[in-house]
Structure 1
Amino acid sequence: LSLSYALEARVGAAAFAERDDSGSFCPSGLLVSALGPQDTAFVLTAGTDLDFVEVGGAALLDDEIVRIDAFDPATLSGTLARGCVDTVPASHAAGARLWFLDDETAVDPTEYAPSVTVQARLLTQTSEGQLDPALAAVDSLVTAQRQGRPYPPGLFRIGGTSYPASVTGDVVLSWAHRDRRLQADQLIDTAQGSIGPESGTTYSARLLRADTQAVLVSQTGIAGTTATLSTTYVGDVIAELWSVRDGLDSHQRWRHTFSHAI
């Protein structure tokens, strides 16, 4: 019976060192159906420890952090709030694993410099002992100053709507402020209104051709919550929006493809 795990980490050829000896396994399950960026209802299958899911807690779906607003362990169905913390809503395939994080984590308290490759491994701890380190898989992560990056804006709209299929004329983007300091102890989803912004935060926006990724028009240093992007290009385009502070871009950015006409 697996009880917990120990987290070990290292940089370069150094020996692995234990960072946390009491990591907890979190509940999880697989999506029965794919989710689009606006979907909030989900059903799971192949679940583990789902009786321990806590409503209001954080969960991880691929690279998106979500909030669990409802969950029924009998039907394995629930409701998500999308794009929390420093992430934006994304599409997720059927079979993607939903990890109910809450406090079920292990923490490496080491302060690493930017762009450092950290190797980590988890050693399962059972009633009979700990996994042989030689048998543990090793994962690598390059540090990217995520904790210091501004949160991406919320409530992203194009022409006042979410994810339009087409736009004619000027492309008008709008959004809501976010503040990583004010939100540090809260799971604010993308649908909520402005918070902050954190001092020094600006926004950047651009349109790209969907076929070549060539930039058609861009704006930087935007202090407000709207931008108008004009182009004579006709065809599929991609709108992008992200936050910037002290030279750091937000960890994730909004990105939506649609047909543009003039």
Structure 2
Amino acid sequence: MPQPNEQITALPLRIDGVDDQDPEGWIPLEQLTNGTIGRIPRWADFPDTTGQYTDLFVYWAQPNDREIYQRRYLPADDRPEFTFPISPQDMSVDGIAYIHYLLIKHDGNKDPSPKRKLTIDHTPAPTLTAPKFPDSNLWGYLNCSSPVPIWEKVRVEILPESIFRGQDECVLQWQGFDTLNGSPPALTPVYEFRKTLSDSEAINGFIMEIPFVPYVRPMVDSDSGVAQYTIYRNGIPKGRSGKGLVKIDRIIPGEEQPCGGFA
């Protein structure tokens, strides 16, 4: 592994899908999902005599270095550039990462490369149908007359999508607001609910339930809740829904307490 005081002598590497002119190194979602290829230019003193070799080590730092690829090159391996795979698992953690490589020659000389900054964000564009609220009325309200009592739970319906597969994980986010249109101020933090899909649920859609306490109770009058989900397969996001909105009114005319009580 290169040491902090080593001189940078190797050429910069390139990554398929990443703009060489982008200093932040944003990796497109397609590459994050499917993996990509790193490319290293041929180094000037590539081995050309029997007995000579160069060992290549590729490191991924997030934040600590870990080796993701290594190979020994002999004279017969000469070519204009050398490629190595970068897997979805290598890029599975959102945030900033750095990738770099080290060449160690047969005589022990080391050529470290510059570090390439990469930015990882797996958040898919919201292309799936927004969640529905099957117990809301024609005006989009959950109230004290809802078929399933609001003081027990809120049911969220996820309609079937062609990308769903059995064993996918649905991560549903829910947040309450002190407005009717899902805009701030917020009354709750963003809560997450997780569900592993059966084969039947992947085909037919499914219901997820949000318990009243503590997730719904802060919303009383002229408030709302917003639900949005992401589908994960083997830890990799495959799709994200739009935001589903439901209005919430727990006021009972003539009563001091709302149905379900105050928070």
TM score, norm. by length of structure 1: 0.34
Greater per-residue strand proportion: 1
Larger-gyration structure (1/2): 2
